Every structure is written in structure tokens, then in C-alpha cells.
């Protein structure tokens, strides 16, 4: 399927999973205070405007952090099956995702970012080539400097028909992505990571993805911690395989959620990862 980039257009709708047209934040709430949970006010989730992605097209969605804050992690999401994330990374004070629609009708999506006052080191890893031919895959990595840990990440691509089956922190100082290429042309991909010296914890939970199924998996942070970022991974190594369509913080900010579709004829495991902090 041929996909081209088209301008983002805000849609006057409410999406499944709490996505709305207006930029929304995840602030400290009275229920959190009453429960005695210390909410890290320095990490607040912001969702950008909802965009419509026509069938067979790719649309860029962007969300900005407020003045004086910068991304610690981010991602995006959609309201229907057939969308996949074709790139996801911070650009200055923004988080941008490219959403590709391989379904037969228009779908909607939005970018999401976690914003903080703390400065974060940014690194784009070495570019790798994802072979064309409709079944190519490759892995890419980006490392944090000594003394710093990943808080979030994503990947950058020079084409619109790549997809992620995994994007998460697989080592103490590394961000890892596995991507596939649906086109007949080679595509270059680079992993992207945000890093901080702050103490963090990582939480993961998994679910089985039967052949052809779409599932959402979420994981919560420990009490008193919020998600600085997160991601997801699958055990699918080939193409067709698992395609990630949503990666974003939970509505209350205390965890991370991923949604993916299994395009193969073999069952796979989908794992959600939250990178949590109390700072």
C-alpha cells in the first residue's frame, strides 16, 4: 500500500481511551492526595490535538510541552485498528509521531508527551538500514552517557512505511527498537533516547497476542511514582509480525500503555514497560 504524508487536521471528536481534541494534562488530583500518594508534579502528561489519518496515508501529529518544560518521554495513539507508529521522537520542546493508516477508512490519532522541568540528555543512535522487499526488519539502539538512564525514547525514519514491533529500554543505559519495512525500498532508521541521572524503576507486564489479534497492555508504577516515559516490546522477530499502534502514559500518569496488532499466523507476547520516577 502506498502511503504519503498529508497535513495534520484536528478532528472534533473524542477518541477511545480518553484521547480528546484539546491538549490535556495529567495534574495532581484530590483523589491522589487523599490516598496519600505523592505525585511527582514535575512529570505531567500532555496530549496534542487529534488528527485524522486518511486511508493509505501517513500524518504527523505533534504536541508541545509548556514553556520551561521539556520532554522526558512520549509516544502517540489511535482510536482504531489499522494505524501504526511510523516514527516517534522529541524535537526541541515538542514530541512528534507519524501515524500510518493501512485500513480501508479514515482513523484518528494524537501525539502524547510527558513534560518535566529537569534537563534531559538526548541522543540519536547510529542509523541502520531496514531492507525493502516487503519483509525487511532491523534493530537500532541509542545509549545514554555514563551515570544516566533512559527515561523514554522512540525512533526516527526517513520513510513512511516502517513500523515498530519493539521500542523500549532493554538495558540499564540503552534504548532498543526493532522495526519492519513494508515497502520495496530500503529505509534508514535511528533509535532515539532521552536520559536523566535521576533514580528510576522499571515495571513490565505481558499479554499473549493470538494470530490476527489486537490487544492493549498496561503496567502501573509503584505507589508514589509516575511514568517519565515508557514503551513496549514483542517477541516477534520477523515481518509480518507485531505492529505497535499506541504507546503512551495511562490517563492518571501512574503507568504506561501499549496497543499492538499481530499480523502473523503465530502467537506472540506483547509487553508494556513503564519507566517510573518519584522526581
- Name the residue with cell 514553556: 67
pLDDT one-digit tens code per residue, 160-175: 789 999 999 998 899 9
Q: What percent of the chain has pLDDT over 70?
A: 85
- For 134-168, give one letter per residue: b (16+ CB within 10 A) or e: eebbbbbbbbbeeebbbbbbbbbbebbbbbbbbbb
Strands 44-47 and 83-91: unpaired
Query: In the predicted model, what is the mean pLDDT of residues 101-126?
Result: 95
Asked whether the predicted pLDDT for residue 118 surpasses 50, the reply is: yes
Residue 4 clears pLDDT 70, i.e. is over it: no
Confidence of residue 248 (pLDDT cuts 50, 70, 90): very high
pLDDT, position 39: 38
Per-residue pLDDT band for 27 (boundaries 50, 70, 90) equals: very low
What does the pLDDT look like over 209-235, one tens digit per residue?
A: 999 999 999 999 999 999 999 999 999
The model's pTM is 0.86
User: What's the rounded mean pLDDT across residues 44-48?
Assistant: 94
Range with the lowest mean pLDDT among 27-41, 96-110, 175-189? 27-41
Q: So what's the pLDDT on residue 199? A: 86
Average pLDDT over residues 245-268: 96
Average pLDDT (202-215) is 97
CATH topology of domain 5-26+41-277: Jelly Rolls (2.60.120)
Looking at residue 37, its pLDDT comes to 34
Spatial neighbors of 235 by CB under 8 A, at least 6 apart, are: 268, 269
Task: Give the CB-side neighbour count of residue 94, counting CA atoms within 13 A.
Answer: 12
For residues 277 and 124, what is the distance between their CA atoms, to the nearest angstrom?
23
DSSP string, 101-140: E-SSS-EEEEEEEEEESS--EEEE---EEE--SS-EEEEE
Residue 31 clears pLDDT 90, i.e. is over it: no
Residue 134 has pLDDT above 90, yes or no: no
Q: What percent of the chain has pLDDT over 90?
A: 73
Amino acid at each position: 500500500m502506498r502511503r504519503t504524508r498529508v497535513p495534520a487536521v484536528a478532528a472534533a471528536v473524542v477518541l477511545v481511551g480518553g484521547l480528546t481534541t484539546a491538549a490535556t494534562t495529567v495534574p495532581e488530583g484530590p483523589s491522589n492526595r487523599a490516598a496519600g500518594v505523592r505525585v511527582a508534579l514535575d512529570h505531567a502528561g500532555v496530549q496534542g490535538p487529534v488528527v485524522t489519518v486518511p486511508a493509505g496515508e501517513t500524518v504527523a501529529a505533534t504536541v508541545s510541552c509548556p514553556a520551561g518544560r521539556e520532554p522526558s518521554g512520549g509516544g502517540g495513539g489511535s482510536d482504531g485498528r489499522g494505524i501504526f507508529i511510523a516514527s516517534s521522537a522529541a524535537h526541541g520542546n515538542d514530541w512528534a509521531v507519524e501515524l500510518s493508516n493501512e485500513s480501508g477508512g479514515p482513523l484518528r490519532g494524537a501525539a502524547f508527551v510527558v513534560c518535566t522541568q529537569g534537563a534531559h540528555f538526548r541522543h540519536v543512535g547510529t542509523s541502520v538500514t531496514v531492507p525493502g522487499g516487503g519483509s525487511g526488519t532491523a534493530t537500532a539502539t541509542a545509549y545514554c552517557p555514563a551515570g544516566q538512564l533512559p527515561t523514554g525514547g522512540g525512533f526516527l525514519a526517513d520513510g513512511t512505511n516502517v513500523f515498530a514491533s519493539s521500542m523500549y529500554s532493554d538495558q540499564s543505559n540503552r534504548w532498543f527498537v526493532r522495526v519492519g519495512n513494508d515497502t520495496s525500498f530500503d529505509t534508514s532508521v535511528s533509535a532515539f533516547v532521552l536520559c536523566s541521572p535521576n533514580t528510576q524503576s522499571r515495571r513490565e507486564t505481558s499479554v499473549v497476542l493470538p494470530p490476527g489479534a489486537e490487544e492493549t497492555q498496561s503496567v502501573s508504577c509503584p505507589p508514589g511514582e509516575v511514568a517519565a516515559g515508557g514503551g513496549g516490546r514483542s517477541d516477534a522477530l520477523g515481518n509480518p509480525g507485531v505492529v505497535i499502534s499506541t504507546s503512551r502514559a495511562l490517563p492518571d500518569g501512574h503507568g504506561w500503555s501499549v496497543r499492538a496488532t499481530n499480523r502473523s499466523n503465530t502467537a506472540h507476547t506483547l509487553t508494556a514497560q513503564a519507566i517510573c520516577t518519584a522526581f
